[in-house]
Amino acid sequence: MEWRDQGTILSLRLHGETAAIIEVFTPDHGRHAGVVRGGASRRMVPVLQPGTRVDVEWRARLDEHLGTFRVEPLVARAALIMSDRTALAALNAVCALLIFTLPEREPHPRIHVASEALLDLLAAGGDWQAAYLEWEMLLLEDLGFGLDLKRCAVTGDSDGLEYVSPRSGRAVSRDGAGDWAERLLSFPDPQFPARGLRTTGYFLEHRLAAALGRDHLPEARTRLLALLDKQQKEAGQ
């Protein structure tokens, strides 16, 4: 069995004295693991870091085997953003959430396209925070836990949307919230990404993670939110 594809490395762990096991997210083969012979060497470890875009060739005797990867690096994204602590935290959060949420070897083309675009934006030093919030909303949608943010669940209006119901995932307007406003989540406004990420985080943890039988989100995602919170406080938002 063999195939060739391009994708992004999500994780690296050493395997024995000389090899490494990596997970790669590709459009046609989803989140897929394999052994890289010589992957523990000084030359290869920097190449196999999470976020690196690679060309990979996978081979195994049987499809269900772990198999081996031949890896050709294309873009070392983490190296490009090493000086930006928050952007690097976002890259790590993307990789961690993909590992956390996606079943192995199951293609998710929409998530793959959006993930590659977001990681490229991070590597280019672009304004990525709103795009990251949109990425988490797409992740929820593609995995069956999408938010309905078009109209107020109470009034049916599309104006003045300020909240999201934690029970239904539907938008609620200022007028529709009434006395229940304090019990609702913030509407995910791209101008205030940390506030929006608390809302997407609620559904990632209490809906998606719960469906997967897990108690909490990856630490990488928690660290990103803490950094964004700090930035907003320093900016007086």
Domain of 196, in residue numbers? 81-147+188-234
DSSP E strand stretches across 106-211: 161-164, 171-173, 185-186
Burial class (CB in 10 A: 0-12, 13-18, 19+), 27: middle
Confidence band (pLDDT; 50, 70, 90) for 53?
A: very high
The percentage of residues in the chain with a pLDDT greater than 70, rounded to a whole number, is: 99
CA 39 to mean position of chain CA atoms: 25
Q: Are residues 33 and 140 in the same domain?
A: no
Q: What is the pLDDT of residue 146?
A: 97
Residues 189-206, mean pLDDT to the nearest whole number = 94
Domain membership of residue 55 (yes or no) is yes
Domain count, the chain: 2
For residue range 138-157, list pLDDT tens digits in order: 999 999 999 999 999 999 99
CATH of the domain at 47: 2.40.50.140
Residues 217-224, mean pLDDT to the nearest whole number = 97
Q: What is the pLDDT of residue 234?
A: 73
Q: Is the pLDDT of residue 235 over 90?
A: no
Residues 62-87, mean pLDDT to the nearest whole number = 94
Domain membership of residue 14 (yes or no) is yes
Residues 154-176, mean pLDDT to the nearest whole number = 96
Q: What is the pLDDT of residue 223?
A: 96
Q: Are residues 15 and 72 in the same domain?
A: yes
For residue range 81-138, list pLDDT tens digits in order: 999 999 999 999 999 999 999 999 999 999 999 999 999 999 999 999 999 999 999 9
Q: In this structure, which amino acid lies at residue 8?
A: T
Taken in order 225, 228, 234, 237, the sign of the CA dihedral is: negative
